[in-house]
Structure 1
């Protein structure tokens, strides 16, 4: 439809310039097919540029990390499992049962003060300031390490 309108306007402009040219100005059917194919191609190109495909990549949850890193391991699909106060390893979240089992087996990981007392690794469970981590680290409430841990700035969430 738009091609016909453009062709009609072009025909009118040519009629104003030279009436003798108008009679000889006829596009063969093959040329019209090329015009339609080109306009369809431009439509597809514009659609492709307007709606780009989202690149989907597999997240690599491996390597060292910090429990204070936001998001952990560079992706919200991964979790940082602490092996020390400031260092851990990246892993895929594999369910609540495995996390609970890991917390139970690790002497310093905790979810409550009572858990630290039961494990004998302190009497205070200091939570990590990272909302991706649902547990903390056991300290003795009189220790200097706890005072340093509590002075750590909280990680801000980028929006």
Structure 2
């Protein structure tokens, strides 16, 4: 009687091992994978601290790193953050252009980060004569 009770289990295990063997040793595995495709889905979390120099920032191309200091920042999701945009405008050293640095009074040159995912630079006071001449060129050309 015991054999009769374990017969379905034995058939099931035999069939399972046969399918696994076929998947590993033949093209049946490719057919099996095509029939049942899987998709890796992850939720993007844009929080925590980051470095403006790491690529991609925050370990995801969907996130942005807003610098607090020269070497550290905060991960944010780029859409829907009006408060973050306001913080960037009010930050004395974050800039998108040389004019913005001069308007904020924190320097005369906007040094961009080498990371293409960072839209902002850092205002620095560059006291070089060559830089001053370079910044005057567009004004002199326009005259």
TM-score (norm 1): 0.56
**Distance (whole Å) between structure 1 residues aligned to residue 104 and residue 75 of structure 2:** 25
1:74-127 deviations in whole A, cap 9, x for unaligned? 000111110000000111112586664333111100011111111111111001
Which residues in structure 2 correspond to 1:15-94 (within 5 Å)?
Answer: 46-50=30-34, 52-94=37-79
Residue 142 of structure 1 deviates from its aligned partner by 2.9
Residue 48 of structure 1 deviates from its aligned partner by 3.7
Gaps spanning 5+ residues in structure 2: where?
A: 1-17, 129-143
SS of alignment partner, residue 102 of structure 2: helix
Residue 46 of structure 1 deviates from its aligned partner by 4.2
Which residues in structure 2 correspond to 1:84-123 (within 5 Å)?
Answer: 84-95=69-80, 100-123=85-108
1:6-25 deviations in whole A, cap 9, x for unaligned? xxxxxxxxxxxxxxxxxxxx
Q: Which range is displaced more, 77-86 or 90-99?
A: 90-99
How many residues are treated as equivalent by the alignment? Answer: 105
Structure (1 or 2) with the larger CA radius of gyration: 1
1:39-90 deviations in whole A, cap 9, x for unaligned? 9xx8986434346412101012111100011000000011111000000011
Which residues in structure 2 correspond to 1:126-145 (within 5 Å)?
Answer: 126-142=111-127
* Aligned-residue CA RMSD (Å): 2.9
In structure 2, do the counterparts of structure 1 residues 48 and 64 end up closer, same or farther at CA, with 3 Å as the change threshold? farther
Residue 138 of structure 1 deviates from its aligned partner by 0.2
Q: Which runs of 4+ in 1 moved over 4 A?
A: 42-46, 95-100
